[in-house]
Structure 1
Amino acid sequence: MFLTGLALLPAIALVVWIYRQDKVEKEPRGLLWKIFLFGVLSVIPAMILEIILDEVFLVFMDADTLCYVILDNFIGVALIEELCKMKAAKWAAWKHPAFNYKFDAIVYCVTSALGFAAIENVLYCLGGDFGTAVTRALLSVPSHAIDGVIMGYFFGVAKEAELAGDKKRRKRYLKLSVFMPMIEHGIYDSALSLDADWIFVFFFLFVIVVDVWAYKFVKKQSGQDRELSA
């Protein structure tokens, strides 16, 4: 029970933090809980698709090859998870009347990502220990939140394109809302999977740089928030 609570705490804390960064018009809490729940549920299709793709990759290559590590982490994990998290946010919030400011998109996508991260963290911690819970609280959960920040920026541009009647631009930016966080996610997971001394150093430098960037980017987007327009 203690580990479960510890596993949920960082995700909930980050949802509260991103909610408080929305300075212009707070989002309905009921909507945010819905998005969070959809993020939790998105773990199910993600797990199924990850298992299927992993089996496909193993037909063509050995698990200890660099090609497998890169493909599995970028396509078999990152692409699938970011797609599922984006769909969760889109199904829950895209047509909601509260989605009327640019920063709303970041709030929605971060909330969806943290719903996903929360249940994933619980599953990992049930089979782990206190050290696992702390490590994931400091690294994995914030990484999902950062993916949500990246996703949310492009998600918001896509929403504005729809309001302008630009279907081509809408489609392009919805794709980017999955592809761009996939890059960060894939680098993160690949670095954890590779066994080399320099990778350890690269990983922690990467985490620090991305964390600082995400914090500053959220502050900037919050300060420049504006109403979505056609």
Structure 2
Amino acid sequence: MLMQLPSIVVVVIYLLAALLPALFLMRYIYRKDTIEKEPKGMLVGLVFLGVAAAVVAVILETLGINLLSLYLEEGSPAHTIVMAFLVVAVVEEGAKFVFLLWRTWRDPNFNFRFDGIVYAVFVSLGFAAFENISYVMGYGLVTAVARALLAIPAHMGFAVFMGYFYARAKRCHDEGNVAGKRRNLWAGFLVAVLLHGFYDACALMGTLLSLLLFLAFVIAMYIIVIRLVKKESKTDTPV
């Protein structure tokens, strides 16, 4: 029983349960970057920028939810949907995207298409790992298992789509295609927001229909993400 173990051991177990899923997925994406590995120091830095994005998101989400509650009844379907899409998804994906753009856009290491996915995933999983610590410490190992199967891979999934378009925006930028650059940057952000918002809305609605939609969405997204990662890895080209 965990309650019989020394407190420091319990803390270590909980931390490992919170962090290992994100580390496993980082390793998976890192190994798929087959042509030219990104500097490990840079990737560690991106993880910590994901942590910074999580801190920013907590502040902005708190403000956004408080503001939303002035106009919509808490717990109502409208409140849940607006909160999921326009507060949580916009804030979290926006914070990740800003730090991603700031750190990697002009970096000379950003020279292959798959790099966009690598960078976006490492920022996103840094965010998810930090967020996961608070959930696991607060709610225990059952929550750790559930989030390892759902929330952490979902954050990676949103990031894969963001990185897919982000890399194409970089290629358009290098080719002098301003319209293509803007279109792909917006696509990367908005697709991640829509996926994240739908995920959260279905998870929070608490109805049988929303549960079924949630499960179908998660399964479909995981299949698409895995196929997309494999395809982008095998067909990687310079930006």
The farther-off stretch of 159-168 and 42-51 is: 159-168
One-letter identity of the residue aligned with 1:164: E
SS at match of 1:106: helix
One-letter identity of the residue aligned with 1:217: L
Within 1, Cα distance between the matches of 2:224 and 2:168? 20
CA-based RMSD:
1.0
How far does the alpha carbon of each residue in 1:26-70 deviate from its partner, in whole angstroms, 9 at most, with x for none? 111111111111011111111111111111111111012221111
- The Cα of 1:177 is off from its aligned counterpart by 1.4
How far does the alpha carbon of each residue in 1:149-203 deviate from its partner, in whole angstroms, 9 at most, with x for none? 0000111111112112233322232222111011111111001111211222221
- The Cα of 1:120 is off from its aligned counterpart by 0.3
Within 1, Cα distance between the matches of 2:210 and 2:29? 31
One-letter identity of the residue aligned with 1:225: D
Within 2, Cα distance between the matches of 1:123 and 1:175? 31
Within 1, Cα distance between the matches of 2:53 and 2:207? 33
Within 2, Cα distance between the matches of 1:174 and 1:46? 20
Query: Is 1:9 aligned with 2:20?
Result: yes
User: In the alignment, what sits opposite 2:4?
Assistant: none
One-letter identity of the residue aligned with 1:202: L
Query: Is 1:28 aligned with 2:42?
Result: no
Within 1, Cα distance between the matches of 2:178 and 2:223? 34
- The Cα of 1:94 is off from its aligned counterpart by 1.4
User: In the alignment, what sits opposite 2:199?
Assistant: 188
Instruction: Write the mapping of 1:49-88 to structure 2, written as runs, cut at 5 A.
Output: 49-88=60-99
Within 2, Cα distance between the matches of 1:44 and 1:13? 23
How far does the alpha carbon of each residue in 1:69-115 deviate from its partner, in whole angstroms, 9 at most, with x for none? 11100011011101111112222211111100001000100111000
Query: Is 1:41 aligned with 2:44?
Result: no
User: In the alignment, what sits opposite 1:95?
Assistant: 106
Query: Is 1:151 aligned with 2:190?
Result: no
CA contact (8 A) 1:34 1:92 kept: no
User: TM-score scaled by structure 2?
Assistant: 0.93
- Identity of matched residues, %: 36
Which structure has the bigger radius of gyration? 2
SS at match of 2:69: helix
Aligned residues: 228
Within 2, Cα distance between the matches of 1:127 and 1:78? 22
Structure 2 residues not aligned, in runs of 5+: 1-10
Moved over 6 A (4+): none
CA contact (8 A) 1:8 1:121 kept: yes
User: In the alignment, what sits opposite 2:5?
Assistant: none
User: TM-score scaled by structure 1?
Assistant: 0.96
Structure 1 residues not aligned, in runs of 5+: none
Q: 2:220 aligns with which of 204, 209, 221?
A: 209
Query: Is 1:173 aligned with 2:202?
Result: no
Within 2, Cα distance between the matches of 1:150 and 1:134? 25
User: In the alignment, what sits opposite 2:175?
Assistant: 164
One-letter identity of the residue aligned with 1:78: A
CA contact (8 A) 1:31 1:92 kept: no
One-letter identity of the residue aligned with 1:36: V
Q: 2:116 aligns with which of 101, 105, 115?
A: 105
Within 2, Cα distance between the matches of 1:106 and 1:75? 24
